Protein backbone atom coordinates (compact mmCIF):
# COMPACT_ATOMS: atom_id res chain seq x y z
CA UNK A 1 0.00 0.00 0.00
CA UNK A 2 1.51 3.32 -1.07
CA UNK A 3 -0.69 5.50 1.06
CA UNK A 4 -3.95 7.34 1.16
CA UNK A 5 -4.26 10.59 -0.84
CA UNK A 6 -4.54 13.54 1.52
CA UNK A 7 -5.63 16.94 0.27
CA UNK A 8 -5.11 19.84 2.63
CA UNK A 9 -6.19 23.37 1.87
CA UNK A 10 -4.78 26.03 4.17
CA UNK A 11 -5.89 29.63 4.17
CA UNK A 12 -3.03 31.77 5.38
CA UNK A 13 -4.23 35.08 6.82
CA UNK A 14 -2.81 38.12 5.08
CA UNK A 15 -4.92 41.10 6.17
CA UNK A 16 -3.13 42.67 9.11
CA UNK A 17 -0.09 40.45 8.59
CA UNK A 18 1.36 42.24 5.54
CA UNK A 19 4.36 43.33 7.62
CA UNK A 20 5.29 39.70 8.28
CA UNK A 21 5.03 38.57 4.65
CA UNK A 22 6.85 41.65 3.34
CA UNK A 23 9.65 41.20 5.87
CA UNK A 24 10.27 37.63 4.66
CA UNK A 25 10.94 39.09 1.20
CA UNK A 26 13.56 41.36 2.80
CA UNK A 27 15.24 38.46 4.61
CA UNK A 28 13.86 39.50 7.98
CA UNK A 29 11.59 37.92 10.56
CA UNK A 30 9.09 39.99 12.53
CA UNK A 31 6.86 39.04 15.41
CA UNK A 32 4.41 40.97 17.53
CA UNK A 33 4.34 42.01 21.16
CA UNK A 34 1.41 43.05 23.31
CA UNK A 35 1.07 46.79 23.85
CA UNK A 36 -0.30 46.18 27.36
CA UNK A 37 1.40 43.15 28.96
CA UNK A 38 4.43 42.79 26.66
CA UNK A 39 3.85 39.13 25.72
CA UNK A 40 5.71 38.32 22.51
CA UNK A 41 4.27 36.25 19.66
CA UNK A 42 5.71 34.25 16.84
CA UNK A 43 3.99 33.54 14.54
CA UNK A 44 2.68 37.07 14.95
CA UNK A 45 -0.77 37.71 16.39
CA UNK A 46 -2.72 40.92 16.01
CA UNK A 47 -4.22 40.62 19.49
CA UNK A 48 -2.81 39.27 22.73
CA UNK A 49 -4.07 35.83 23.82
CA UNK A 50 -3.45 36.72 27.47
CA UNK A 51 -5.10 40.12 27.84
CA UNK A 52 -6.79 40.86 24.50
CA UNK A 53 -4.91 44.12 23.87
CA UNK A 54 -3.56 44.97 20.44
CA UNK A 55 0.01 44.13 19.48
CA UNK A 56 2.83 45.98 17.83
CA UNK A 57 5.57 44.69 15.52
CA UNK A 58 9.18 43.95 16.49
CA UNK A 59 12.08 42.49 14.52
CA UNK A 60 13.11 39.05 15.80
CA UNK A 61 16.81 38.67 16.64
CA UNK A 62 19.03 37.26 13.91
CA UNK A 63 20.86 35.11 16.44
CA UNK A 64 19.48 32.01 18.12
CA UNK A 65 20.23 28.62 19.63
CA UNK A 66 19.17 25.33 18.06
CA UNK A 67 16.90 23.54 20.55
CA UNK A 68 15.96 20.54 18.43
CA UNK A 69 15.41 19.54 14.82
CA UNK A 70 13.74 17.01 12.57
CA UNK A 71 14.97 15.76 9.21
CA UNK A 72 11.98 15.40 6.91
CA UNK A 73 12.25 12.36 4.66
CA UNK A 74 8.54 11.68 4.11
CA UNK A 75 7.41 14.98 2.62
CA UNK A 76 3.90 16.33 2.89
CA UNK A 77 1.80 17.12 -0.14
CA UNK A 78 3.30 19.99 -2.08
CA UNK A 79 6.84 19.22 -0.93
CA UNK A 80 7.31 15.94 -2.81
CA UNK A 81 9.91 17.49 -5.11
CA UNK A 82 12.18 18.65 -2.31
CA UNK A 83 15.32 16.84 -1.21
CA UNK A 84 15.26 15.79 2.45
CA UNK A 85 15.16 18.97 4.54
CA UNK A 86 15.61 19.89 8.18
CA UNK A 87 13.11 21.82 10.28
CA UNK A 88 14.56 23.27 13.46
CA UNK A 89 13.19 24.77 16.64
CA UNK A 90 15.32 27.77 17.55
CA UNK A 91 15.29 29.99 20.65
CA UNK A 92 15.94 33.68 20.21
CA UNK A 93 16.01 36.17 23.06
CA UNK A 94 12.40 37.09 22.25
CA UNK A 95 10.61 33.96 20.98
CA UNK A 96 11.03 30.35 19.95
CA UNK A 97 10.46 29.76 16.26
CA UNK A 98 10.61 27.05 13.63
CA UNK A 99 12.82 27.45 10.60
CA UNK A 100 14.31 25.65 7.61
CA UNK A 101 17.81 24.74 8.72
CA UNK A 102 20.94 24.77 6.57
CA UNK A 103 24.13 23.17 7.78
CA UNK A 104 24.90 20.15 9.92
CA UNK A 105 22.36 20.19 12.77
CA UNK A 106 23.68 20.08 16.32
CA UNK A 107 21.57 20.75 19.42
CA UNK A 108 22.93 23.81 21.20
CA UNK A 109 24.52 25.24 18.05
CA UNK A 110 24.28 28.96 17.41
CA UNK A 111 22.33 29.83 14.27
CA UNK A 112 21.76 32.87 12.12
CA UNK A 113 18.09 33.54 11.42
CA UNK A 114 16.77 35.05 8.22
CA UNK A 115 14.25 34.43 5.48
CA UNK A 116 14.36 33.35 1.87
CA UNK A 117 11.34 35.30 0.72
CA UNK A 118 8.71 32.74 1.66
CA UNK A 119 9.85 31.13 4.90
CA UNK A 120 12.02 31.53 7.96
CA UNK A 121 15.50 30.10 7.56
CA UNK A 122 18.37 29.43 9.92
CA UNK A 123 22.00 28.65 9.23
CA UNK A 124 24.40 26.87 11.56
CA UNK A 125 27.24 29.29 12.45
ZN1 LIG B 1 -1.25 41.19 26.61
C-alpha 40 – ligand 1 centre gap (Å) = 9
The C-alpha atoms of residue 27 and residue 22 are separated, in whole angstroms, by 9
Is the predicted pLDDT of residue 108 greater than 80, yes or no?
A: yes
- Counting the structural domains of the chain, the total is 1
CATH number reported for the structural domain that contains residue 69 in this entry: 2.40.50.840
pTM equals: 0.84
Residue 13 lies in a domain: no
The mean-pLDDT minimum among 4-13, 24-33, 63-72, 91-100 falls in 4-13
C-alpha 109 – ligand 1 centre gap (Å) = 31
Residue 92 lies in a domain: yes
Residue-wise pLDDT tens digits, 56-95? 999 999 999 999 999 999 998 888 888 999 999 999 999 9
What are the strands, taking DSSP E only, across the chain?
Answer: 30-34, 40-41, 55-59, 63-72, 85-91, 96-102, 110-115, 120-124
Residue 1 lies in a domain: no
Cα Rg, the chain, nearest whole Å: 16
C-alpha 13 – ligand 1 centre gap (Å) = 21
Which DSSP helix (H) or strand (E) runs through 23?
A: helix 18-25
Amino acid sequence: MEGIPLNLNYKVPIKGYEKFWESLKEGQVWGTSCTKCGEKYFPPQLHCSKCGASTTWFKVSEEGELLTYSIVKAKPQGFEGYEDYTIALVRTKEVDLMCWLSGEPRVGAQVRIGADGKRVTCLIK
